[in-house]
Amino acid sequence: LKPGAERRRQSAQEARRSLPIFPYRDELVAAIARHQILVIEGETGSGKTTQIPQYLHEEVRGGLGGEIRGAPRGVVWVAEGGIWGFWGRGLVGYSIRFEDCTSERTVLKYMTDGMLLREFLTEPDLGSYR
C-alpha cells in the first residue's frame, strides 16, 4: 500500500478497536455461530451496526440462520440497511413498518423494536428463521 493508504487503514483499524463493541468481538462471533436467532442491544454509537456485518464478513461467512436487531428509529436503519445490503450482496437486510428488504440469502436483519414485537406476536417461535 502507498504510505497515505496505509495510514488510513491503520487509522480505520484504531477507530474500530476504540468502539465499545470491540472487546466483545470474539464472544459475538461465537454467539452468532451458535444461535439461529440473536438479539443484540447496545447504546447508540457502540459499533453494533457497522461492526457486526464486518465480523460476519471476516469470520463467519455463511451457514447462519438469521439475526435480529431492534432499533428505535426506522429511518436511520433504512439508510444503513441499504448500504450494508448492497455491500453484502443481499446478506444484510432490514424491515420497517411498510418495507421488508430481505431475501432467503439474508443472514443479518436490522429492524425496529416495533417490527421485532410484530414478528414475535405473529410467530412466537420465530420458526421462519430456521
The pTM for the full model equals 0.57
The pLDDT value given to residue 21: 94
Domain count, the chain: 1
CATH (domain of 92): 3.40.50.300
CB 106 within 8 A of CB 93: yes
Chunk the chain into consecutive blocks of 10 residues (it has 130) and report each block's average pLDDT, rounded to whole numbers: 76 87 91 82 85 73 43 41 50 80 78 85 83
The pLDDT value given to residue 84: 47
Q: What residues make up the domain containing 36?
A: 3-129
The pLDDT value given to residue 65: 41
- Residues 44, 21: Cα–Cα separation, whole Å: 11
- Residues 84, 94: Cα–Cα separation, whole Å: 9
The pLDDT value given to residue 27: 92
